[in-house]
Structure 1
Amino acid sequence: MQRETAPPSPPSFPVVGHAPSFARDPFGFVSDAVESVGDRFVMDLCGRDIYVLAGPSDIETALLDRESFAKLDDFRIAFGDALLSVEGEQWQRQRHAMEEFFSPRRIRDHAETIRTVTERQVEGWEAGERLELDREMRQLALRNLFEVVLGQSLSAEEFDDLAESAHALNLWFKPTSWALPQWVPTPARYRFRRGAAELREWAESLLADAGSDPAEDSLLSALVSLRDDPSSAFDREEIIDQVVGMLFAGHETTALAMTYALHQLGRNPEPAERVAAEIDAIGAEPSLAEIRDLASLDAVVDETLRLFPPVHGIPRVTTTDVTVGEHTIPADSEVLLAVWNMHRDGRFYDDPAQFRPDRWADTTPRERGYEYVPFGAGPRICIGRHFARLEMKLALVTVLARYRIEAPEPVSVSPQMTAQPSGPVPVVLRRRDGS
């Protein structure tokens, strides 16, 4: 019988370990490590061991066994007792309270609102204009979050401040900071703490303003009711934490997915033309049922979430010694599930670095199992996944019915809490009719 051992570790520097290599190129470091030592390895960040799991069977184990693989305390630093960060009975109570709002049926009821918000955004664009696509999509996603989830409108003046505060929460996981001990002060950690405080002020203000008259079918209305019900087991602080979590997670990942989808269509005209032809075939104001049947559009969404998963890695911490294959991960160990690397692994996908929506013609995300986990999987799968996919599809239909996108520059990605573009994502708009 083979004795269980710790996973291997790639060659490293004295004292600092893998920190310089990881901070310089996190995705490249993980890819090289998988190639050299396998799907399970130990990463040494200045004496702090991170156990990396990069294969589908190991990621399945970690996502299904929520008792052994818990969420990091880092999430509580960012979100307090929000659904994103809690465990056990508290997680079950919060998930139960909010999951009906995010059910496919409820989300479909809001399709026209999402479409209207998107049309208003696109109406302000001009043919020939050079847009910062990432900023436009953050604005669109944030406005949809407010109108659909929170039941309120967001003025243009409020957008920049709120978006900056929410965006700053990414910085806790910026590689150049995450590779260092938590006590080391860095500019990214300063901006994170300031953004977290500002976002909490936003949440408190929203709850105060909506306390008397929130939109009846909004999640904010449900949270206000829970806050005011002594039997709900939700206290004021926990409700504020839910709003903080929603202000970040409710728009950030969807904005990224829409950004990368449109950018890739701007650099790959063939799939863009296929989607445009599908849209033309169903007319100017397609029904939701017609949009759901657009096979090329679905393939673009699936491929975008494969090549650019907004949640590029899922951090966990072990609560007990865990056996993974022939290796053992000790209790209280930090674990990183390397989603980005797995989604771009040639063992699972042909031409993995290429944007190829046609790869989904003869398979589905469900059939790929744990080789494809853009929303996580298992009991803690993203509660907003139906909302995100519908928002993506409605946005793409609205934009591509009017414009052809040109993306003159490739995009590079900076892994933070989410997979952020390293800088602005410029595109040029051309009218579909040639004008």
Structure 2
Amino acid sequence: MIRLQHLRFGFLSPSFIVYVTLGSSVLFFITLCIYRRFFHPLAKFPGPVAASLTEIWKWRSILSGRHPFDLQELHEKYVSREGTPDKNQFPGDVMRVAPDELSFASVQAFRDIYGHKTTGKERFLKSDAYDNEEPRVSSVRDPTVHASQRKALSHAFSARALRDQEDVVHEYVDLLIKQLANFGAGGLKPINVTDAYNWLTFDAIGDLSFGEPFGALESGSNQWVKLVLDSVITQGLESRFKKWPWLKLFIRLLLGSRKMQEWKKNSAEYTTLSREKARKRMEMGDSLKRQDFFGHLIKKGEVGQEYLVGNAQLLLAAGSETTATSLVGTTWYLLKNQDCLRKLTDEIRGTFTMMDEITGDSTARCQYLHGVIEEGLRLFPPVASGLPRVSPGALVDGQYVPAGYVVACETYSLARDPRYWVNPGSFLPERWVGQGFGDDKRAFQPFSNGPHACLGSNLAYLELRITFAKIIFAYDLELVSQDIEDWNRACSSLGLWRKPALLVKFHPRKFA
């Protein structure tokens, strides 16, 4: 029998083990890259080479804040165009943006991915990108559970509820009108409307959701905004870290530890403040004269506190920052297109003789106002990136996507595609008035579609109509931030838009 103690393993030195480990790792990585590039089920789809090999390309694009722009430019490069060699091979507008993920940009793809389930077809369920520590209706992947929770909340956004909510919207829009004069010294000082619109929407959603405002319009405070923005990106990253631990190191190298710590700190503070808001609202019980959004959530006693906190965060982010984004983006486009501003001013001041005449119903009849709002939403959608879904093994715009792979359709790219829009980069409210220009408006999806469409879209339209109508009725606007040549490119997208200051002077209207 060979005695093992007499065998010599001197060649197994620490340095040898390190070399073998490194060599094996490199060999494994090279093999993995070869597989992903040439033999992977998604290998046939076009896209950046780097994106087909690792997730790094996608995350670098996301963290740069340029992801919607990168995808738009790439779709223009890889998308099928008449007469191109790829036309027959890839009739659908699709490219590979990660080893296991495809990005689409076509009307049919949007319908296939997000539309209502049809007979004989399985649904495209939400990907694990929606996972959150605090459960909420937006993160539920099970269609039956989601439908039940959505139904409980949908009463808060019914036509009847909207009529009750209109008084609250008027209250805070009127306060905004007053504060524009106060903070702007009657038109002498410019106001940063990026902040001012956030004051409005946070106070309105605070009252509509929890029965009390944040006091932002009174104080001019914007403390919640950065917390919301940092929370959105942090919560999205935390779910990814569980799947790809290396991503945390990559982000630290790309952005630095200080930025990550700042995001995490603000996210934790946002959770704490949301928890406090939820607690205070639960203590109020049924004492409110008006049923708020949160009241619909706490009707059932079996709902857990973490679920309430998660939905408190959802209501605040979805009901404030997105509407403020639409307000400021549309304001920039109006001020950069003075003919459009004059037409809107003529319509508002020709329709209403006093502020009290401005209501949800009366503004709904203002066709040019409608066109301005729709065009602002088209060019600067509140959420620019596609919403990730998992393929059940189905056709998307004629292309078969195997089960388990992630797909998304890019709303930003769709809204600027010349196949669907006449002069897609121009701000033309007239395209929404009457017959318009013959655009294919199926490519307009700012609030998504299907069973996961935004519940609050009608409330958002109400806020947008009343706010613009009252501001245009009361003030003549002057753009001070003349240095911003392209509003969209001046912004960055990290889940939600991060917007620069937009300085505007509000000159009180002179009545004849």
TM class by shorter chain equals 0.7 to 0.9
Deviation at 1:315, TM superposition (A): 2.4
Matches within 5 A, 1:317-396: 317-363=389-435, 368=440, 370-396=442-468
Match of 1:397 among 469, 482, 501: 469
**Residue 375 to residue 161, structure 1, CA distance change in 2 (3 Å):** same
Answer 1 or 2: which has greater helix percent: 2
**Counterpart for residue 419 of structure 1:** 497
Amino acid at match of 1:183: K
> Whole-Å Cα distance in 2 between the matches of residues 162 and 365 of structure 1?
41
Alignment of 1:57 with 2:108, yes or no, is yes
Normalization by structure 2: what TM-score? Answer: 0.75
Matches within 5 A, 1:127-206: 127-156=187-216, 159-172=221-234, 182-184=247-249, 185-186=251-252, 189-206=260-277
**Counterpart for residue 505 of structure 2:** 428
**Counterpart for residue 11 of structure 2:** none
**Residue 245 to residue 397, structure 1, CA distance change in 2 (3 Å):** same
Q: Secondary structure of 2:384's match?
A: coil
Matches within 5 A, 1:20-419: 25-38=66-79, 39-44=93-98, 48-64=99-115, 68-77=123-132, 80-87=134-141, 88-125=143-180, 126=184, 127-156=187-216, 159-172=221-234, 182-184=247-249, 185-186=251-252, 189-213=260-284, 215=288, 216-226=290-300, 229-230=301-302, 234-281=303-350, 282-284=352-354, 285-288=356-359, 289-363=361-435, 368=440, 370-407=442-479, 408=482, 409-410=484-485, 411=487, 412-419=490-497
Amino acid at match of 1:307: L
Identity fraction in percent: 18
CA contact under 8 A between 2:129 and 2:240: conserved in structure 1? no
CA contact under 8 A between 1:83 and 1:95: conserved in structure 2? yes
**Residue 72 to residue 159, structure 1, CA distance change in 2 (3 Å):** farther
CA contact under 8 A between 2:162 and 2:459: conserved in structure 1? yes
Deviation track 1:31-65 (CA, whole Å, cap 9, x = no partner) reads 33222322111013xxx443101111001110026
CA contact under 8 A between 2:391 and 2:401: conserved in structure 1? no
Deviation at 1:347, TM superposition (A): 0.8
Computing the radius of gyration from Cα coordinates, the structure with the larger value is 2
Deviation at 1:148, TM superposition (A): 2.1
**Residue 173 to residue 314, structure 1, CA distance change in 2 (3 Å):** farther
Aligned residues: 421
Amino acid at match of 2:269: E
Name stretches of at least 5 consecutive residues in structure 2 with no aligned partner: 1-40, 80-92
CA contact under 8 A between 2:105 and 2:413: conserved in structure 1? yes
> Whole-Å Cα distance in 1 between the matches of residues 455 and 437 of structure 2?
17
CA contact under 8 A between 2:431 and 2:437: conserved in structure 1? no
Q: Secondary structure of 1:225's match?
A: coil
Deviation track 1:237-286 (CA, whole Å, cap 9, x = no partner) reads 21221111111111111010011111211111112122222221222222
Q: Secondary structure of 1:117's match?
A: helix
Q: Secondary structure of 2:387's match?
A: strand
Deviation at 1:318, TM superposition (A): 1.2
Q: Secondary structure of 1:373's match?
A: coil
Normalization by structure 1: what TM-score? Answer: 0.87
Deviation at 1:21, TM superposition (A): 6.4
Amino acid at match of 1:337: C
> Whole-Å Cα distance in 2 between the matches of residues 371 and 299 of structure 1?
16
> Whole-Å Cα distance in 1 between the matches of residues 493 and 425 of structure 2?
17
CA RMSD of aligned residues (A): 3.1
